[in-house]
Amino acid sequence: MTDQAPSSSEALARDRRLQQGIDQYGVGSWELNLATRELAWSPTTRRLYGVTTDTPIDFDAFIALVDLEDRERVAQALQRSIDRGEHLDIMYRVADRGQPRHWLRARGGLIKVEGTAGYLCGIVLDIDQQKVLEQELRLQQSQLRSILDTVPDAMILIDGRGIMRFFSSAAERMFGLSEKEAIGQNISVLMPRPDASRHDNYISRYNSTGERHIIGIGRIVTGQRKDGTTFPIHLSIGEMESGGERYFTGFIRDLTEYQQTQARLHELQAELVHVSRLTAMGEMASALAHELNQPLSAISNYMKGSRRLLADSSDPNVPKIEHAMERAAEQALRAGQIIRRLRDFVARGESEKRVESLAKLVEEAGALGLTGAREQGVVLRFKLDPASDMALVDRVQIQQVLVNLFRNALEAMANSEKKELVVSNARVADQMIEISVADTGSGFHEDVKSSLFQTFFTTKETGMGVGLSISRSIIEAHGGRMWAESNPSGGATFRFTLPAAAQEDLADAT
């Protein structure tokens, strides 16, 4: 049996079936007669453009249906296809009568027919949903870019070969490299030697073995800027797959400022410890001087009394005994003078007072005295009034007072259900500023309130009893006073006053 060519009627029927199938799936067809400029549209095409079946359509009527902002671009694309035979592929907006505008996509090509000017034929698709999705995607990308632009940590995306595919604004600022310069380069350009030469081996080994060394863990490494300078960074790496390819996302934090702050805090801590020791020694020396002066005076008095008793004795050794007792009395008096001079020296110690910000003092003292507070579940509230911020103080000494109060508060709240520490300040009379440190700890009994600031008095099992005594001495040396109160809801509040900086002191400070 031989194949027979279909008859013309069969071919027409097949063409109609093909056309109906295309129309049912929402694909319209069109034909532009280049000689007459008339358009032949399928029913689906007319529906997409909002044109009834009995309305005649030509080139000008079609252009009039296109959104005004897209008309010139569409007309130029059609003319290029007609003049040069280029394939047509354009997206544009049209508006049904009384309906909001929507997106269409027309594709086609030039067909030459002998004896005619030819035809431009093609299809048209509704791409409105696609455009909505594209717009949503662009919005999401814009939002993500905005977030990444404001996050201080840098983000870099590399592929499985170590080539950078994304470079955030923070990364640009951190490494001094623009996104255009970074994209396409190997991530090793951001590393100093020998890390740079080893990095590709790390990726290759992970791709082949799957053995993780840093992914999902994070570590402190060294980064290198465009100018060659290096700096410490904390690097965290995540992993993802897309299109069958593996990608790695690096989140990078510059630790330069953090390490400088830590070094400064260590210096401040060492300074505070040194001053605390000196102050504690002074307090102990002062207390010992006070306690020893009384027995020394008693010894001297007993010596004098004994000499008077010996005056009536006939013992031949009386002169020797009197001489020895006189020397002992002199030494007792001499010891008392030495102790008095030591006590005067300790009490006379001068401090270097300057205009300081209380908010800054509290912040720095908190970094030392409140270490681990958040991990213990302590809620910190700093209610500091900027209008009562500047005071004339010795910075180190006042920080010593604050650190001592902060540590005491944390210890007092160790077993409390509610753990809250509130630090506040307020202007009070006589140009003074009152600072309060309130906690929700165990508090203290009223019967020990009068003894809290006495030297060597403590309610702690291992306490020395000099912290609050030293703190009150420092505050009194500043011309203020210090006291404690029990909170009605539990816990204690320690308050102290400091002299507010006068206008002339503020002028000198600036």
Using the predicted structure, report yes or no on whether residue 283 has a pLDDT greater than 70: no
Cβ partners under 8 Å of residue 326, min gap 6: 303, 307
Question: What order do you get walking across the sheet with 88-95 strand by strand?
Answer: 39-41, 28-33, 119-126, 101-111, 88-95
| pLDDT average, residue stretch 60-68 | 90
State which of 474-478, 488-492, 493-497 shows the largest mean pLDDT.
493-497
Is residue 475 within 8 Å of 401, Cβ to Cβ?
Answer: yes
Question: Where does a domain end: 256, 284, 310?
Answer: 256
Asked whether residue 2 is domain-assigned, the answer is: no
Is residue 287 within 8 Å of 455, Cβ to Cβ?
Answer: yes
Q: What is the pLDDT of residue 6?
A: 56
Q: Are residues 119 and 168 in the same domain?
A: no
Is residue 253 within 8 Å of 219, Cβ to Cβ?
Answer: no
Q: Are residues 39 and 126 in the same domain?
A: yes
**Cα(90)–Cα(76) distance, integer angstroms:** 11
Cα Rg of the chain (Å, integer): 45
Q: Are residues 83 and 166 in the same domain?
A: no
Q: Are residues 336 and 270 in the same domain?
A: yes
Is residue 351 within 8 Å of 397, Cβ to Cβ?
Answer: yes
Nearest to 83 by CA among 43, 47, 115, 120: 120
**Cα(51)–Cα(417) distance, integer angstroms:** 75
Question: Where does a domain end: 132, 161, 189?
Answer: 132
Q: What is the pLDDT of residue 480?
A: 92
Is residue 402 within 8 Å of 369, Cβ to Cβ?
Answer: yes
Nearest to 172 by CA among 199, 194, 190: 190
Task: Flag whether the pTM goes above 0.75.
Answer: no
Using the predicted structure, report yes or no on whether residue 462 has a pLDDT greater than 50: no
Structure tokens at 213: 């060394």
Total count of domains within the chain? 4
What domain range includes position 177?
A: 150-256
Q: Are residues 454 and 389 in the same domain?
A: yes
- Residue with the bigger pLDDT between 144 and 90: it is 90
Asked whether residue 292 is domain-assigned, the answer is: yes
Q: How far is CA 502 from CA 83, 356, 507, 509, in A?
A: 86, 12, 9, 11
- Greatest Cα-to-Cα distance within the chain, rounded to the nearest angstrom: 169
Q: What is the pLDDT of residue 439?
A: 92
Question: Where does a domain end: 346, 375, 410?
Answer: 346
**Eight-state DSSP code of residue 186:** B
Coil/strand/helix, residue 46:
helix
362-409 pLDDT, tens digit each: 888 887 778 777 778 888 888 889 888 999 998 888 888 898 898 888
Residue count (the chain):
510
| pLDDT average, residue stretch 190-207 | 70
Q: What is the pLDDT of residue 457?
A: 47
**Cα(327)–Cα(132) distance, integer angstroms:** 107
Q: Are residues 39 and 52 in the same domain?
A: yes
Q: What is the pLDDT of residue 465?
A: 45
The 10 Å Cβ neighbour count of residue 345 is: 13
Q: How confident is the model at residue 261 (pLDDT cuts 50, 70, 90)?
A: low
119-177 pLDDT, tens digit each: 999 999 888 888 888 888 888 877 777 776 777 788 888 888 888 988 888 899 889 99
CATH number at residue 230: 3.30.450.20
Strand extents, DSSP E, 289-378: 354-357
Q: Which helix (H) or strand (E) holds 9?
A: helix 8-24
Q: What is the 3-state secondary structure (H, E, C) of 400-432?
A: HHHHHHHHHHHHHCCCCCCCEEEEEEEEECCCE
Q: How confident is the model at residue 436 (pLDDT cuts 50, 70, 90)?
A: very high
Nearest to 311 by CA among 301, 321, 302: 321
- Residue with the bigger pLDDT between 408 and 4: it is 408
